[in-house]
Amino acid sequence: MAGSSTSPEGTGIRVRARRARMVAALAVVGGLTGTAAATPSFAAHEGAGTAPKQHRAAAYISPFTGLPARRNPVLAVKIDNHKDARPQTALEDADIVGVEKVEGGLGRLFAIYSSHYPETLGPVRSAREYNVEQMRMFQRPALAYSGARQAVVDKINKSPLHGVSHDDHPDAYERGGDHAPPHNLYGHPDRLLAKAPEASTASDIGFRFGAEPGGGTPTDERTVDYGSSATTFTWSPDEGRWLVSFDGEPAKGTSGKRLGGKTVIIQKTDMPPDSSGETPYIETVGSGEAVVLRDGKAFTTTWQRASATGDTTYTLPNGKRMPFDRGQVWLAYQQR
């Protein structure tokens, strides 16, 4: 190129400078959303550290966190929560983290990414039948998962969801880290989203954000117990958020950061057996009671979702929508 140095040293300097500008730009995006890039627990493939291209639309308020963000495609990921899969990678970077009951009274997680994409996330595990209806509240997101019953795979493939399974797209994943199989599969958001170029962008799912409402019951701690696993949310006045513990142990990411959210939703619903007769089918369409935790208090609300494509609303006894605190939201389903 005219006017440029052709020496190896000059080329190396220019490459390092470009990388520095890219890192600085990504840091600005992370700062807008209150997150930072996760540090993988293993060496990523060449190119895995490149963040997915984010839309260039003007900053807006995320419907998932209430914070300034970019309106990016939605990536939903099924995350392992077996004791041998902990600590997980990049849960702290998700907009929403969900806690779900699976067979045997165990728990599993899902994570929703849109405001910010980490370099690596996981461990990724299998999908369940109810995920199809559940994830339709995000319209047509990319759904990353590893394995499922054939009936579930068929249901995902016939749905508007953009399934990106490890079986069909192994190049979007890799195994690594300190966990033993099957708890060591990690996904790269840039590769996962490249497999779902038509994934829908973040839109209203029914969350509302604002100042703490009147009322509420002072609460230090709440636990959702599935029998063989338990998730506890403990209020931290110092951090101003609910710190998470799994099975009585403080939950941390591979980054060393303690997991926790500004708002916690404990949504009570029915969980009849799915078509396999073995796995709970978590009902996410319908209505029932939900306890919303924020600012060291518990608020009793009514949740309602009229259809698979409809919003889930949370309403106070006075008829007003329950405002969440701005930041990461945790959603835990509980048997009613």
Tens of each residue's pLDDT in the chain, 336 residues = 333 333 333 333 333 333 333 333 333 333 333 333 333 333 333 333 344 444 444 468 999 999 999 999 999 999 999 999 999 999 999 999 999 999 999 999 999 999 999 999 999 999 999 999 999 999 999 999 999 999 999 999 999 999 999 999 999 999 998 899 999 999 999 999 999 999 999 999 999 999 999 999 999 999 999 999 999 999 999 999 999 999 999 999 999 999 999 999 999 999 999 999 999 999 999 999 999 999 999 999 999 999 999 999 999 999 999 999 999 999 999 999
- Would residue 89 count as lying in a domain? no
What is the three-class DSSP state of 240? coil
Instruction: State residue 13's pLDDT score.
Output: 30
Domain assignment of residue 329, given as a range: 217-335
Instruction: State residue 295's pLDDT score.
Output: 98
Instruction: State residue 170's pLDDT score.
Output: 98
Instruction: State residue 26's pLDDT score.
Output: 37
How far, in Å, are 25, 181, 273, 291 from residue 330 at the CA level? 28, 27, 24, 12
Helices (H) and strands (E) in the chain, counts: 4, 20
Residue 162 has a CB neighbour count (10 Å cut-off) of 23
Closest CA to 188 of 35, 11, 40, 24: 40
How many separate domains does the chain show?
1
What is the three-class DSSP state of 247? coil
- Would residue 222 count as lying in a domain? yes
Main-chain dihedrals φ then ψ at residue 255, nearest 5 degrees: -75, -15
How remote is the C-alpha of 67 from its chain's centroid?
A: 16
What is the three-class DSSP state of 260? strand
How remote is the C-alpha of 60 from its chain's centroid?
A: 20
Instruction: State residue 87's pLDDT score.
Output: 98
Residues 282, 327: Cα–Cα separation, whole Å: 25
- Would residue 30 count as lying in a domain? no
What is the three-class DSSP state of 213? coil
Beta-carbon contacts of residue 255 (< 8 Å; ≥ 6 apart): 38, 39, 89, 90, 92
Instruction: State residue 31's pLDDT score.
Output: 37
- Would residue 153 count as lying in a domain? no
Q: What is the CATH number of the domain that holds 322?
A: 3.50.90.10
- Would residue 59 count as lying in a domain? no
Helices (H), the chain: 8-33, 130-135, 150-158, 189-194
The gap between the terminal CA atoms of the chain, to the nearest Å, is 68
Q: Answer positive or negative: Cα dihedral of 38, 43, 45, 47.
A: positive
Instruction: State residue 21's pLDDT score.
Output: 38
Residues 111, 98: Cα–Cα separation, whole Å: 6
